[in-house]
Amino acid sequence: MQDKILRRTFVKSLAAGGLLAQLGLWHAPLQATGRRHRPAILTGNEFDLLLAQTSVDFAGASHRAMTINGTLPGPTLRWREGDTVTLRVRNRLDAPGSIHWHGILLPANMDGVPGMSFDGIAPGGLYEYHFKVRQHGTYWYHSHSALQEQSGVYGALVIEPSTAEPWHCDRDYVVMLTDWTDENPERVLSKLKKQSDYYNYQQRTVFDFIHDVSEHGWLSTLSERMGWARMTMNPTDISDVSGYTYTYLLNGRAPDDNWTALFQPGEKIRLRFINGSSMTYFDLRIPGLKLTVVAADGQPVEPVEVDELRIAVAETFDVIVEPQAEAYTLFAQSMDRTGHARGTLAVREGLSAAVPEMDPRPVLTMNDVGMHHSDMADSGHGGMDHGSMGGQMQQHPASESHNPLVDMQTLYPQPKLDDPGIGLRDNGRRVLRYADLRSRFADPDGREPGRTLELHLTGNMERFAWSFDGIKFSAAQPLRLKYGERLRITLVNDTMMAHPIHLHGMWSDLEDEHGNFLVRKHTIDMPPGTKRSYRVTADALGRWAYHCHMLYHMEMGMFREVIVDE
Amino acid sequence: MNLSFSHKPLLGSAFALGLLGVAQVPVALAEDDHKHHSGRSSMGTHAGTGNAAHAMDHHGMTHDDGTATAQSRTPIAPITAADRRAAFPHVSGHTLHDSAIRRFFLFEKLEYQDADDGSALNWDAQGWIGGDVDRLVLRSQGERSNGLTEQAEIHAMWGHALNNNWDLVGGVRHDFKPESAQTWAALGAQGTFYNIDIEATGYYGENGQTSARFEATYDLLLTNRLILQPTTEINVYGRNDESRGVGAGLSEIEAGLRLRYEFVRQFAPYIGVNWSRSYDGTANMLREEGEAVEEWRFVAGIRLWF
């Protein structure tokens, strides 16, 4: 309870002080350390945000972070659906900055993408965002300038609904998962460009080979190794950046710093999980508790009870839990199993529960990257096909042919909506799958898409070059949509990495294998070997960013401009 | 520019009607729908949706609510002048760093060699400056023994990625030693074949000499930091050049085995052995001078990159 009171007091003082409090921050940024700092919760409809450098200490040494109002994450903003909000963002960084409101419907000039929505916020400058809030739920906000997001420019966004939600919760906590590195993000990127497996210390060794031979025999082991070698690919390549450099944070706390949320037994607690990482997917669970997922990407879904969920970069999930015991561990292991974020749900401060062991390192199979024509357990949906799926080989855009920026083309991609995902299959836990997500509303548009836009996610792992259809942003023409049209976007993953694809300004209405509306999202996870479709209603005029939300993939060119014009 | 439009935009009459008829469309917003659901449903309740469409093709299928509508259920607002102003502000273009010029320099070998006739300092370096497809490719190798530079050369070549694994390289190689300097035109390929790094280059010298070199290296992971690296280099010459001690034909084969420990990726001390043997005309010249045609050397050095 102490925790809660402290936070309330802080919020009140901020509210009372209003602009002065903000100006106080402006003059003297907090010296945040891993232990002391705690993001504020700001409410109302006028907000002052300040981008500045702050020192932080997550891994035992003081380093420079870029923060919003002096904390990492920045303050949690609580808006109300229907309100018009004003956000004054000042930039005291020595580089141009920006804030993008992820998943929020707004006019294009409020979207915060430099060079598309506005010119960015110059050092010393100010930009005033002003728009009507037309939705509710859990979202987040972050810088859209260079690699600032990796340095700490992000925060949670909670929008209260205008009408009551169909569930009651006694407590409500934001759980924001992020990846922090003491390295300069530019250095991280530079290393990846020089040696793309720089951060992968889970590669298979001679001893793994010997082990596999004794397990599966010479022939099978050798042919498996040769298969990957022929593609010059590495099946342990799950994450480009790993726990080697990352400290995984939960609400800005390192695992040992044990962020704690309090509850009374019998209460219902709503946890708003946000993956604000630059490059890390998390597999999240609270041993001993069932997670009832009630919203995905801010949008309400039919409640579904699971033990574990994978949260792709930029996704959000609202989960309700009903803890009875004294303490539980919030355990979020990185998808590549090189580290974890951790927090605690407890009846009082200072308690902790057992922290689980990390699961084994996942190793990709040819099946995972869609190179084998396989009948996975989930393809028993009556043999009906979505376009060219199942049976036929995937066709690829001509721009991928003889293109050094494309190192792989998937042969038999599948939607894999009911696949728990790499490293989560058959783990004895009920894992959330996209197939489990059902919006609590019918297709909000209802029209048949007028056309299909197929885009392939492409890359050259070794050169760390990323693109759509083998064309990097700098060489690509914008995608053009007609205002009011309903179209289908079909994505095919021609790489062996997962990519969370985010369209600004408009919803992505994910379809199931049969073309039925499944769930409304702002970020669609595209694991390797998948082909997934979603519908978009082009109801937002302007220039919008459309990109992979893996920060370094985006920065290296997996990005398109979408123009919605009359 | 390929934008992969699978279909031409089909903005038919349905869409036009949709825009005109916006005001009359009944609104079925999420909020209305919420009221019909309360509490939780088990997984089982999900199963009902969409089953009817199982046997159907994508186009012309029914949707979960029964029929596809001609107009959006959520009205699409008519565009106002304010919308237009907000949509296309005058801004400078978006910038990513996807085409930045980057650079990489690697000393694959920088080592002390315990030779039969004293000790030698040997290096083999490579690097590039450029983008993802076109690069300036640099290479250098050489040897100093007993305080004298025995061999030293540098390559400066344009490298162009042919596909994801192979680069075409072409440019010049300049030998400072042995003997008087000589310059070659160089053309070749470098890339990866079954995770073996390969450089194959042909040369045409200013004095009409021809030559070819093949190099291969492989990283065998004992652990993720302890790495055993077999290497080989083969040199072939077109004709005798007695002043530089090379004869026509296969001149030399070199093979090495180095065990390095990567404290960090950029810095890895190693030890190893290097074997070399001369053949054909080159071997004959060595024999005439009473020198050995085959040599084993113990090596110790540092692999580093920046």
- Place A547 in a pLDDT band, splitting at 50, 70 and 90: very high
- Place A375 in a pLDDT band, splitting at 50, 70 and 90: very low
Interface of A with B in 403-442 (CB under 8 A): 403-408, 436, 438-442
Inter-chain residue contact B224 with A564, CB threshold 8 Å? no
- Place A166 in a pLDDT band, splitting at 50, 70 and 90: confident
Closest CA in chain B for residue A465: B132
Calculate mean pLDDT across residues A315-332. Answer: 98
Whether A461 contacts A233, CB under 8 Å: yes
DSSP class per residue in B200-248: EEEEEETTS-EEEEEEEE--EESSSSEEEEEEEEEEEESS-BGGGTB-S
Structure confidence at residue A292 (pLDDT): 98
- Place B54 in a pLDDT band, splitting at 50, 70 and 90: very low
Structure confidence at residue A373 (pLDDT): 63
Interface of A with B in 448-467 (CB under 8 A): 448, 450-456, 460, 462-463, 465-466
Reported ipTM: the value is 0.87
Q: Is A217 on the interface with B (CB under 8 A)?
A: no
DSSP class per residue in A358-421: PPPPP---TTTTT-S----GGG-STT--STT-SSSPPP--GGGTT-TT-----SS-B--TT---
Of A26-40, A285-299, A339-353, A403-417, the poorest mean pLDDT is in A26-40
Residues of A in contact with B68 (CB under 8 A): 446-448
Region for A446 from its dihedrals, namely left if φ exceeds 0, alpha if ψ lies in -120 to 50, beta otherwise: left
Q: Is A351 on the interface with B (CB under 8 A)?
A: no
| Res A212 pLDDT > 90 | yes
- Place A20 in a pLDDT band, splitting at 50, 70 and 90: very low
Calculate mean pLDDT across residues A374-383. Answer: 40
For the stretch A345-374, pLDDT in tens is 999 999 999 999 999 999 999 889 888 765
Establish if B29 belongs to a structural domain: no
Establish if B296 belongs to a structural domain: yes
Inter-chain residue contact A447 with B70, CB threshold 8 Å? yes
Closest by Cα among A100, A102, A77 to A157: A77
Which residue in B11, B42, B89 is closest to A450 by CB distance? Answer: B11
Query: Measured on CA atoms in the order B8, B13, B16, B21, is the torsion positive or negative?
Result: negative
Structure confidence at residue B70 (pLDDT): 86
Closest CA in chain A for residue B69: A447
Structure confidence at residue A39 (pLDDT): 87
Indicate whether this model's pTM tops 0.80: yes
Of A30-44, A308-322, A507-521, the poorest mean pLDDT is in A30-44
Closest CA in chain B for residue A232: B195
Establish if B189 belongs to a structural domain: yes
What is the identity of the amino acid at B165? N
For the stretch A173-202, pLDDT in tens is 999 999 999 999 999 999 999 999 999 999
Interface of B with A in 79-98 (CB under 8 A): 79, 83-84, 86-89, 91-98
For the stretch B232-275, pLDDT in tens is 999 999 999 988 989 999 999 999 999 999 999 999 999 999 99
Residues spanned by the domain of B214:
161-305
| Site from B37, B58, B194 to mutate, A interface, most A CB atoms within 10 angstroms | B58
Inter-chain residue contact A556 with B29, CB threshold 8 Å? no
Domain count along chain B: 1
First to last CA, chain B: 36
Structure confidence at residue A167 (pLDDT): 83
CA-based nearest distance A545→chain B, Å: 10
Whether A435 contacts A418, CB under 8 Å: yes
Of B93 and A255, more confident: A255
| Res B58 pLDDT > 80 | no
Structure confidence at residue B147 (pLDDT): 85
For the stretch B8-23, pLDDT in tens is 333 333 333 333 333 3
Q: Is A539 on the interface with B (CB under 8 A)?
A: yes
A-B contacts at Cβ under 8 angstroms: 295
Calculate mean pLDDT across residues A400-411. Answer: 94
- Place B102 in a pLDDT band, splitting at 50, 70 and 90: very high
Establish if B39 belongs to a structural domain: no
**Reduced to 3 states, what is the DSSP secondary structure of residue B99?**
coil
Of A60-64, A140-144, A450-454, B15-19, the poorest mean pLDDT is in B15-19
| Res B90 pLDDT > 50 | yes
Closest CA in chain B for residue A460: B164
Structure confidence at residue B207 (pLDDT): 87
Inter-chain residue contact B30 with A543, CB threshold 8 Å? no
Residue A489 CA to residue A536 CA, distance in Å, equals 7
Interface of B with A in 158-217 (CB under 8 A): 161-165, 192, 194-195
Structure confidence at residue B68 (pLDDT): 78
Calculate mean pLDDT across residues B143-148. Answer: 90
Structure confidence at residue A391 (pLDDT): 60
CB half-sphere exposure, A85, CA atoms < 13 A = 30
Establish if B253 belongs to a structural domain: yes
- Place B67 in a pLDDT band, splitting at 50, 70 and 90: low
Structure confidence at residue A53 (pLDDT): 96
b/e A224-233 (16+ beta carbons within 10 angstroms → b): bbeebeebbb
For the stretch A95-149, pLDDT in tens is 999 999 999 999 999 999 999 999 999 999 999 999 999 999 999 999 999 999 9
Which residue in B50, B87, B96 is closest to A514 by CB distance? Answer: B50
Structure confidence at residue B151 (pLDDT): 94
| Res B27 pLDDT > 90 | no
Interface of A with B in 283-322 (CB under 8 A): 292, 299-300, 302-305
Whether A70 contacts A105, CB under 8 Å: no
Calculate mean pLDDT across residues A156-167. Answer: 92
What residues contact A46, with CB distance under 8 A and at least 6 apart?
A: A85, A86, A87, A88
Of B291 and A550, more confident: A550
| Res A558 pLDDT > 60 | yes
Place of tokens 């449903």: B41
Q: Is B56 on the interface with A (CB under 8 A)?
A: yes
**For all residues of chain A together, what is the average pLDDT?**
91
Establish if B88 belongs to a structural domain: no
- Place B210 in a pLDDT band, splitting at 50, 70 and 90: very high
Calculate mean pLDDT across residues B110-119. Answer: 90
Establish if B269 belongs to a structural domain: yes
Residues of A in contact with B44 (CB under 8 A): none
For the stretch B221-240, pLDDT in tens is 999 999 999 999 999 999 99
CATH number at residue B177: 2.40.160.40
Q: Which helix (H) or strand (E) holds A80?
A: strand A76-80
Structure confidence at residue B118 (pLDDT): 85
Q: Is A386 on the interface with B (CB under 8 A)?
A: yes
**For chain A, percent of residues with pLDDT exceeding 90:** 86
CA-based nearest distance A196→chain B, Å: 11
| Res B53 pLDDT > 70 | no
Residues of B in contact with A203 (CB under 8 A): 221, 224
Interface of A with B in 477-496 (CB under 8 A): 477, 479, 482-486, 490
Q: Which helix (H) or strand (E) holds A39?
A: none
Inter-chain residue contact A207 with B222, CB threshold 8 Å? yes
Establish if B76 belongs to a structural domain: no
Strands A340-346, A523-526: parallel, antiparallel or unpaired by DSSP?
unpaired
| Res A18 pLDDT > 70 | no
Closest by Cα among A555, A220, A170 to B95: A555
Q: What share of chain A is helix, strand, coil (3-state, %, to 5)?
A: 15, 35, 50
Inter-chain residue contact A110 with B10, CB threshold 8 Å? no
Q: Is A190 on the interface with B (CB under 8 A)?
A: yes
What residues contact A457, with CB distance under 8 A and at least 6 apart?
A: A468, A491, A492, A493, A494, A495, A499, A501, A526, A548, A558
Inter-chain residue contact A292 with B40, CB threshold 8 Å? yes
Structure confidence at residue A281 (pLDDT): 98
Inter-chain residue contact B87 with A109, CB threshold 8 Å? yes
